Amino acid sequence: MKNQKPKDITYQKIAWTIRNFRTLKTNTRHNSDVFTIGDCNWKVVVYRGRKDGKFLAIYLHVADASSLPSGWSVYADFTLTVVNQFSREKSAKRDIKHKFSSANNAVNRGYASFMPLTVLEHESNGFIFNDKCIVEVEFYVVKPDGFDLSHLIYPSLPKESEQVPANEPKADDDHGDLVEFKDLGRIEKPFIPLLEEVCSWHPSLMECKNNRSRRFTEWAFNSLGRVLQFLRDNKWKDMNDEACEQLQNLWEELEMSRLDLTWLEPRVKSALKMKGYEEKAEKVKKLRENLVALEREMKELKEKLGDSEQSVEMIRKDLMNVEEGFEEKDLEAEIGYGKP
């Protein structure tokens, strides 16, 4: 990331053609090439199958977020689009205004449920053609820090019924597993006991509903519920590479909610460190076995050495007793008879 302030731009557009789309692994991050707009490096991230594998997720990321200088921030007004290759007028679009910042890791923005895969991948809808999906990002404004953000809005997840194109029947809005929760909106029922518990421990979570839209609050708390459910349902031994990747995806989505997650982050980070744990555990096990074997061998050698030391001491005493009054003679010399 360049250290100078980003340039103001009025309009630029990039397009990313994703080939062999239907072969993409479900719920796995796929990155576009890095591109530069307004002196900032960006990339588009998609997941084919988020939220139980039923939705396309799209995010705009600052590409080199780890190298951002302290205090860096830039405001962007942009649109994410999945192009309808039969009729551009029927393309799926989502508008976003967001302040990207190195503070609080606010370096990405997007939608976890941009559109249902059933709509996206239906052959007659025109979003996938010759197994190609085209994602566009249209930048209307990219500005450096130091301007009025009072009009800034945060993206919220549209309901499924609002994401279905006009030529498709609307999704049934009566899911049956969504319930009202503490004036925060409709939350997936399995998450309610978990959210009630953490909200009692951390009342500041309820401040999310202040100055936030109902849809945003619903999305934020459902995202939190998914992370809590994952942590509850998985044991340390379950955290293989695939599970770590799943938790990483859930956590990245939850971080965009800007909830106070300082109480949860240490546990999530600890769980994510389990990646490669089995290999490390096997190595530790072998090293411990080697250490035990060497210590056992060293103990046996010490015991033998102790026995040898005792034998040496006994022989030394016997030698002293025998040497007492013993005059060593040269047996080859003559005895003689006292020659003067």
CATH code of residue 6: 2.60.210.10
Asked if residue 85 belongs to a domain, the reply is yes
The total of structural domains in the chain comes to: 1
The pLDDT value given to residue 276: 67
For the stretch 178-229, pLDDT in tens is: 788 888 888 888 889 999 999 999 988 888 777 777 777 888 888 899 899 9
* Ramachandran assignment for 144, one of left (phi > 0), alpha (psi -120 to 50 degrees), beta (any other): beta
Residues 6+ apart with CB under 8 A from 282: none
- Choose among 145, 190, 108: nearest CA to 3: 145
Asked if residue 270 belongs to a domain, the reply is no
Asked if residue 73 belongs to a domain, the reply is yes
**CA–CA gap between residue 229 and residue 245 (Å, rounded):** 16
Q: Which domain, by its residues, includes 5?
A: 1-145
The pLDDT value given to residue 43: 93
Asked if residue 71 belongs to a domain, the reply is yes
Give me the residues of the chain with pLDDT under 50, please. 1-8, 146-176
pTM above 0.85, yes or no: no
Asked if residue 217 belongs to a domain, the reply is no
Q: Residue 60 is encoded by which pair of tokens?
A: 């705009």
Residues 60, 42 contacting (CB under 8 angstroms): yes
Asked if residue 220 belongs to a domain, the reply is no
For the stretch 131-181, pLDDT in tens is: 999 999 999 888 875 443 333 333 333 333 233 222 222 333 333 367 888
**CA–CA gap between residue 302 and residue 312 (Å, rounded):** 15
Asked if residue 18 belongs to a domain, the reply is yes
Asked if residue 29 belongs to a domain, the reply is yes
**CA–CA gap between residue 277 and residue 283 (Å, rounded):** 10
